[in-house]
Structure 1
Amino acid sequence: MSTQHTYRVIVRGRWDALSQDSRTRLLAEVDDHGLSALRFTEEGALAYDRALQHFSYRVVVRSDAEDGEEMAAALAEDRVEGALRALGHGYRDLRSTVTDLDTMKINRKR
């Protein structure tokens, strides 16, 4: 049995070909998706600003350590793509940054 690791993944992307309905909904909710939305959750937390150019999702992924960070990134991007499709928002250029919390070194102050 493989060891499970917990990964924090930031998936960044660009909005693409947003419909007028998408733009209206995103702008109506922009205050709920600013700095206060910057937290990691299993379902993913969406953050963006009023310019509607870029967005980020912060996702917690649990995956086999043997599969590594590449698999964690792929799983997170899959969740983000599903969430954005369900909302009906266009996107492109997804890229991920992965941190393995189980191998992260913590420097404690003495």
Structure 2
Amino acid sequence: MTTRTFRITVRGVFDGLSTEQRAELLTGAAEHDVLQAAFTAEGHLSYDLAARPAFTFRFLDEGEAEEDILDAVERAETAATSWLAGRGYGFKRLRAQGEDLSQAPLGKRQRRAIAQSATP
């Protein structure tokens, strides 16, 4: 069996942050900048609290079957919830979505590379 790679995005909104929590998040904002966002196994948090209270966690997971994405999404949502709750950050409207990269459409360069490798 082949290994499938899943990208899971968990989005939500910070809710009811204290002044201290908000200051803590603003202090760490450079580390969580959207421009440095990446999909990682442990999850990468990005936000721009100065602009709006929304956040995004990006997770990378693997599975062998198409239905394994459901478990991957659940693990990602649990990890995001644990991270937030462990720091006492309130949140709402948490939603998660997964993408199986083996099902993602090929980009123009990928299609060209495949066409060139198939030509004798």
Which TM-score applies when normalising by structure 1?
Answer: 0.83
Q: Secondary structure at the match of 1:88?
A: coil
Is 1:34 matched up with 2:33? yes
CA shift, 1:38, in A, is: 1.0
Moved over 6 A (4+): none
CA shift, 1:106, in A, is: 2.0
Larger mean CA deviation between 99-108 and 11-20 belongs to 99-108
Residues 14 and 94 in structure 1, CA contact (< 8 A), matched pair in contact too: yes
| Corresponding residue of 1:89 | 89
CA distance in 2, matches of 1:84, 1:4: 30
Corresponding residue pairs, total: 109
- Letter of the structure 2 residue corresponding to residue 38 of structure 1: A
CA distance in 2, matches of 1:64, 1:88: 35
Is 1:65 matched up with 2:55? no
| Corresponding residue of 2:117 | none
CA shift, 1:29, in A, is: 1.2
Please report the RMSD computed on the Cα atoms of aligned residues, expressed in angstroms: 2.1
Percent pairwise identity: 33
CA shift, 1:32, in A, is: 1.8
| Corresponding residue of 1:15 | 14
CA shift, 1:33, in A, is: 1.2
Larger mean CA deviation between 34-43 and 74-83 belongs to 34-43
Q: Which protein has the bigger strand share?
A: 1
Q: Secondary structure at the match of 1:51?
A: coil
- Letter of the structure 1 residue corresponding to residue 19 of structure 2: Q
Q: Secondary structure at the match of 1:65?
A: coil
Shift in CA distance, 62/22, structure 1 to aligned 2, threshold 3 Å = same
CA distance in 2, matches of 1:53, 1:31: 15
Q: Which protein has the bigger helix share?
A: 2
Larger mean CA deviation between 96-105 and 43-52 belongs to 96-105
- Letter of the structure 2 residue corresponding to residue 58 of structure 1: R
Q: Which runs of 5+ in 2 are unaligned?
A: 113-120
